[in-house]
Chains A and B, each alone.
Chain A
Amino acid sequence: MPLVEGNSRLIYAGKQTAKGTPNLTPTVVFPLSGDGALNPNREIITLPETDNNTQRSDSVVVGASPAGGWTGWLRTSQMQMLSEGIMGSIATAPAGTHTATPTKALPYYTMFDVIPGVQVTRYDDARFSSLGLSGESLQGIQYSVEAVALSALLNAVEPTLALPTDLKHSYPLIKVTIGGVQPKTHDAFDITVNRNVTILRGDGGLAAFDSHAGLFEVSGTLRKIYQNDDDYNRIHGGSATATVLTTTIFAESLSILSEESATLSVEFLSSGIEYTAIAVPVSVDGSPILQTLTFNTRRQATWSNNLSIITKFP
């Protein structure tokens, strides 16, 4: 038998019209940029009991939690699916601009974890439970997703789709705008949308009954070139010239835009992020300070102002 090279694994996904109706013709294929997989995750425990013996109890399968995650390089061609999957809804207006906004219910997807020609596992009724985006100067822009499915099927039929050929985004495409201004001092960022999806199992055997999206949480960090104490004072005191601590949480708008052209871009946009921590570290080697700001998005009267993801793709 030939050996199988390690860089062949692919994840395919297609949106379902409803729970329980798998979509066998996926629309997007995701190449992976690192370790990642969906796994059947059978839950195995032991059920100890007394006997005249000291051997370990046998293992028992008590359920399955098909789930997993992967990372890949950010491409605009894939973000419509990823943004709708994590947010819940997407609207196109005008043509070529796709705005994903949060809703309580999330779409279901059929996903295939594929080692081409060797191993194909199909995951039905999967939901994206988290989506992260991160970047750092001199690096590529990477997304990471976690997905939770209700059931897994081994030895599925391998789907066929052409691999994406559009640009893998890198840090020179990034513009971080806070409070309406791009200071050009942001050296790294990460932002994660977490839907806290949990499984409701029921008595359907090794297939779970349904999943449920819990709290909508968006958090992240910004690494910023340190020039003065303005951010420190704003976060602790409410303004750059503050002298006393404040009970107010400092908030401002945030846009993280990765733009390869006017018609090809991805933007994470929030009307208000609130900073919860700032770290101004010491560098004993004398290198300049890079401060790290930790944030989460604020509750908003209109949910979509908390966060929307805007993809421009023809």
Chain B
Amino acid sequence: MPGKRNTPDEDAPVVYRFRLKDGVGAASFMADTKAVELTEAEPQFDTTDRLIAGGLRGLDFLEEVAD
């Protein structure tokens, strides 16, 4: 599954990684109750929360990336 990083250690949390799509200079959105600001200098957002990751998949300015 893209964006899902499974490690040999089954207890390690799965990291879901998102980044700004090409051409998107900056974005802000809510993840849980935190405001997240992404910029060209810092275009990436990681979460281990499956529900948050599910919500982020609906944002068309983000793309999920494999590690």
Chain A interface (Cβ within 8 Å of chain B)?
15-19, 84, 88-95, 99, 101, 103-108, 210, 302-304
Contact = CB atoms under 8 A, between A and B. Distances in A.
A303 B55 contact: no
A16 B30 CA distance: 11
Interface in B15-55: 20-21, 23-35, 55
Contact of B58 (A17, A91, A94, A103): A103
Given A99-B61, A104-B55, A304-B60, A89 B28 contact: yes
A304 B28 CA distance: 15
Contacts of A93: 21, 23-25, 61
A90 B28 CA distance: 5
B35 A88 contact: no
Given A89-B27, A91-B61, 14 more contacts: A89-B28, A89-B30, A89-B61, A92-B27, A93-B24, A101-B59, A103-B58, A104-B55, A105-B30, A105-B55, A108-B33, A108-B35, A302-B58, A304-B58
Contacts, number: 68
A16 B58 contact: no
A106 B30 contact: yes
Contacts of B26: 91-92
Contacts of A91: 20, 24, 26-28, 59, 61
A193 B4 CA distance: 35
Contacts of A84: 28
Contacts of B20: 91
A95 B40 CA distance: 11
A107 B27 CA distance: 13
Nearest to A125: B33
Q: Which of the listed residues A16, A91, A107, A302 has the most CB atoms from chain B within 10 Å of its own CB?
A: A91
27 contacts: A18-B33, A19-B33, A88-B29, A89-B27, A89-B29, A89-B30, A89-B59, A90-B27, A91-B59, A91-B61, A92-B24, A92-B27, A93-B21, A93-B23, A94-B23, A101-B59, A103-B30, A103-B58, A105-B30, A105-B55, A107-B28, A107-B30, A107-B35, A303-B58, A304-B58, A304-B59, A304-B60
A105 B27 contact: no
Contacts of A302: 58, 60
Contact of A103 (B23, B24, B33, B55): B55
A105 B35 CA distance: 10
Contacts of A103: 29-30, 55, 58-59
In the complex, the 9 A-B pairs of residues with the closest C-beta atoms, listed nearest first:
A89-B29, A91-B61, A91-B27, A105-B30, A93-B24, A92-B26, A19-B33, A92-B25, A18-B34
A95 B25 contact: yes
B39 to A, nearest CB: 9
Contacts of B23: 93-94
